[in-house]
Amino acid sequence: MDSHLRNIYAKLHVHNRSGAIAKALKERL
């Protein structure tokens, strides 16, 4: 997994895992 994506996911995971996933999917699109 990309370290940058992991960093973003890790930060957002603290607030809301679902939000992190949604944001990651939106950025990938």
pLDDT (tens digit per residue) in 1-29? 578 878 877 776 666 667 777 888 898 87
Token pair, residue 15, equals: 């607030």
pLDDT of residue 22: 83
Q: Which residue has the tokens 């990651």?
A: 24
Q: How many domains does the chain have?
A: 1
pLDDT of residue 12: 66
Give 3's Cβ-side CA count (13 Å radius). Answer: 0
Q: Domain residues for 8?
A: 1-29
pLDDT of residue 15: 61
